[in-house]
Every structure is written in C-alpha cells, then in structure tokens.
Amino acid sequence: MKTDYFKNIIKAYRISNNYTKERFAELLDVDPSYISKIESGDRMPSVEMLIKISNKTNISLDEMFCTKTSSGAELRMNKYLEKINCLSPSERQFVFEMLDKMLEHLSEEK
C-alpha cells in the first residue's frame, strides 16, 4: 500500500485538530521525527501504529482504509450523504451539480 495514502489521512487529521507534529507525537507516545517521516511519505506506519492512531484519535480503521475497501468507501459515502441531507435544497443542488461535473471530467480522462 502506498505511503501517500496514510500520510494524507494522518496529516489532515493532525492539522484539522490544530496539533503540531510535536503535540501529535506526544499524544501517540512517539518521537516527532516519526510523525514527520510518515507525513513526508518516507515511512509507512506499522499496523500497531495504525491501531494506536485509531485508538487515540477519532479516525476509525475503516476510515483509514476508506478508499481501499468497498466497506470503507460505503462508510465515507454515507457520511457525505448525512452532510448533504443537512443542506438547504439550493445547497444540495449546487453539490449535485459539482459532483456531476467532477464525475464527467473524470470519465473524460479515461
């Protein structure tokens, strides 16, 4: 599995929760250089570290592997549907139009 996948998930979580690399490393009881190596793609987190990250954060293992498994993708789509259902009708229409355009663009690239 490519390291880019985990570096993006872990870095996005850290930044969205306003953790410095040092604070996030402290939370996980690892050296900050380990977090830097994961986020730069130089190191793949071990299975034990992925479990530790899941236990110490609100990132489920399903979510970590979201685009890699069909059940993970389904979980992510359901989260999007919940968010979309909270939008006004005009906001939902805007989201659907944007999705249509993105999907059309992706299918043209193939």
3-64 fold? 434 Repressor (Amino-terminal Domain) (1.10.260)
Query: Quick one: pLDDT at residue 94?
Result: 96
pTM above 0.85, yes or no: no
Query: Quick one: pLDDT at residue 28?
Result: 93
Following DSSP, what letter does each residue of the chain receive, concatenated?
--HHHHHHHHHHHHHHTT--HHHHHHHHTS-HHHHHHHHHTSSPPPHHHHHHHHHHSS--HHHHTTTTSHHHHHHHHHHHHHHHHTS-HHHHHHHHHHHHHHHHHHHHH-
pLDDT tens across the length of the chain (110 residues)? 455 677 888 888 888 888 999 999 999 999 999 999 999 888 888 889 889 988 888 777 777 766 555 656 676 788 889 999 999 999 999 999 999 999 999 888 76
Query: Quick one: pLDDT at residue 1?
Result: 47
